[in-house]
Structure 1
Amino acid sequence: MSPVVSAADRGFTLGDGVFDTALALNGKVFARERHIVRLIDAARTIGIEVDRRRIEDAIDAALTAAPAIIRTTLTRGTAARGLWPASAGAPTVLVTTSPWSPALLGQTARLVTASGRRNEFSPTANLKTLGYLDHILAAREAALAGADDALILNTQGRVACSAIANIFALVEGTLVTPPLSEGCLPGIMRALVIEMAPALGFAVAERPLLPETLAGAEAVFLTNSVRVIRAVTALDGREFAEHRAIARLAEALKARLTAECGDLPAPA
């Protein structure tokens, strides 16, 4: 049976909620604790309190042995009209799955810079909220330009993220990624790269990143929970050569994934 959400649910009518996307293999969610904690923290930030057990049970009910993308959506639920309701019902927790293929690992991406900007001063800048229209339009721009993803700058003209991922650049031997204050999301894969990179011989810095610095980097890559790590091969027509650093990080993340969730399925 398909899940049913009330037409009066504030997630549907106002985008009043948050979500999380994770990868599941062999019935196990990769970095599960991190995903759940981030979701609960994001909900609490916008004033939604939810019993963690509800989220855990909903995820468990959705898991199967098949590799899947797990999306957990959490809304304020139903309430009387008004932007800030005097009272609201119980939060809505909805977990959906879609098939995942190991072919997504190792895919590269060509980027174009989106015309819209990410507001790093917004109280939701670091939250995966349901209001994703700015990024949908950025993705539309990329598709119309024949690219795979869009680079999004913040209001100061500095690098924030892509439409669907965090971004890293190898600059003079250091892996540089924008700090959260630049308006990017606290990505799970982003955090893992920051934690794992020193043991692989990389210095890591969270610092503002100018578009011209990104364009002149030795390598650029994206991270998210579905594709894990994705080498950028071009930005606004500027080509990037393959770099061993990305392959090393990809191998390390894949090893962590299989250690936690078991072997990857054979490609179809």
Structure 2
Amino acid sequence: MTSLLWLNGELVPASEARIDPTDRGLLLGDGLFETMRVAASCVPLLERHLDRLTAGCVTLLLPPPDRIMLRRAVGDLLVASGLEDGSMRLTVTRGCGPRGLRPPEQVQPTLMLTCAAATEAIPGPVRLGVSRYVRDGSSPLSQVKSLNYLPMVMARMEAVAAGYDDALLLDAQGNVAEASAANILLMLEGRLVTPPVEDGALSGTSRARLLEAGLCVEQSVPFTRIREVGAGWLVSALSLQSIVSVETHELGEDAGQERALRAFLFGTVAS
């Protein structure tokens, strides 16, 4: 992370930034976040992320932040940090409140924007283990990027402890949902599919772009069919990673498909 961040309207050194100890984001995970790619000193998909943030705020009954202010904050932090390529994270909480679950009558959200430089290497392939945690596609909260990320944190930790790189989460019916921090793309019956939101998949920005362009389709994938999958990838706003295995099932490679996906999403082709 860079040494500067934007907090509630001001650029401040990260070492001097302070969050109030009564902030509900800190105490209760009451808030949302967006992780955005920075390329050539801009956030190319900023409006998509702000759209999803606004929708998430509506779901959480949280006043959406002013877009003009957020656009200005992004520009100010990019200039001040000198960041050319990397990522930004926008965090919104319900702000400070009294002890207990009920928020105050007048909400003053806490807004924070941080950024980090990109790493040089393209993320490598991953081995997935099936998590004991289940995604609930029927819950409105499954469609927001909530600060309550503990199930995903635990899923990733347990997968790594078991010798995998990441976790594959299913829904209650045993359908593939997503990984701990990414959507899933699978080659099945000769076409590229991604699980529907009804099966617990988050509506990711990269996933949405691929669906809009007709480069993949939504389809439920029962885990019992995982051995029929020829190739697969994890996709997020920041990266595309090939899946080499799911539990004991080894997946194949599809270099042509991966080049096409990488070029569409990020304008680059893996060497």
TM-score, with structure 2 as normaliser: 0.86
- Look up the equivalent residue of 2:57 and give its one-letter code: A
Task: List gaps (5 residues or longer) in structure 1.
Answer: 199-203, 259-266
State which of 64, 72, 76 in structure 2 corresponds to 1:57.
Answer: 72
- Structure 1: which 4+ aligned runs deviate by more than 4 Å? none
Alignment correspondent of 1:210: 222
RMSD: 2.0
Alignment correspondent of 1:240: 251
State which of 95, 101, 109 in structure 2 corresponds to 1:83.
Answer: 101
- Kindly state the Cα deviation for residue 197 of structure 1 after the two structures are TM-superposed: 4.1
Deviations 1:65-91 (A, max 9, x none): 332220000011112233222414311
- Look up the equivalent residue of 2:96 and give its one-letter code: T
Q: Which has the higher contact order (CA 8 A, sep 6+)?
A: 1
Say yes or no: does 1:252 pair with 2:264.
Answer: yes
Indicate the SS of the match to 2:142.
coil
Say yes or no: does 1:18 pair with 2:32.
Answer: yes
Alignment correspondent of 2:5: none
Identity, in percent, stands at 31
Could you tell me whether the CA contact under 8 Å between 1:197 and 1:249 is conserved in 2?
no
Aligned mates of 2:42, 2:113 — CA distance in 1: 14
Alignment correspondent of 1:69: 87
Aligned mates of 1:195, 1:230 — CA distance in 2: 21
Indicate the SS of the match to 2:140.
coil
Alignment correspondent of 1:196: 213
Could you tell me whether the CA contact under 8 Å between 2:185 and 2:234 is conserved in 1?
yes
Say yes or no: does 1:118 pair with 2:132.
Answer: no
Aligned mates of 2:99, 2:67 — CA distance in 1: 27
Say yes or no: does 1:136 pair with 2:136.
Answer: no
Indicate the SS of the match to 1:81.
coil
TM-score, with structure 1 as normaliser: 0.87
Deviations 1:32-53 (A, max 9, x none): 1101111121112101112222
Could you tell me whether the CA contact under 8 Å between 1:55 and 1:93 is conserved in 2?
no
State which of 161, 184, 197 in structure 2 corresponds to 1:180.
Answer: 197
Aligned mates of 1:53, 1:252 — CA distance in 2: 28
Aligned mates of 2:92, 2:73 — CA distance in 1: 11
Deviations 1:194-224 (A, max 9, x none): 22344xxxxx321211112233212111110
Q: How many residues align?
A: 252
- Kindly state the Cα deviation for residue 248 of structure 1 after the two structures are TM-superposed: 2.0
- Kindly state the Cα deviation for residue 147 of structure 1 after the two structures are TM-superposed: 1.7
Alignment correspondent of 1:151: 168
Q: For residues 46 and 158 of structure 1, do their structure 2 counterparts lie closer, same or farther at Cα, with a shift above 3 Å needed?
A: same
Alignment correspondent of 1:43: 57
Deviations 1:101-150 (A, max 9, x none): 24135x21111111111222322011100000000010011211222211
- Look up the equivalent residue of 1:141 and give its one-letter code: E
Say yes or no: does 1:161 pair with 2:178.
Answer: yes
Aligned mates of 1:159, 1:19 — CA distance in 2: 24
Indicate the SS of the match to 1:245.
helix
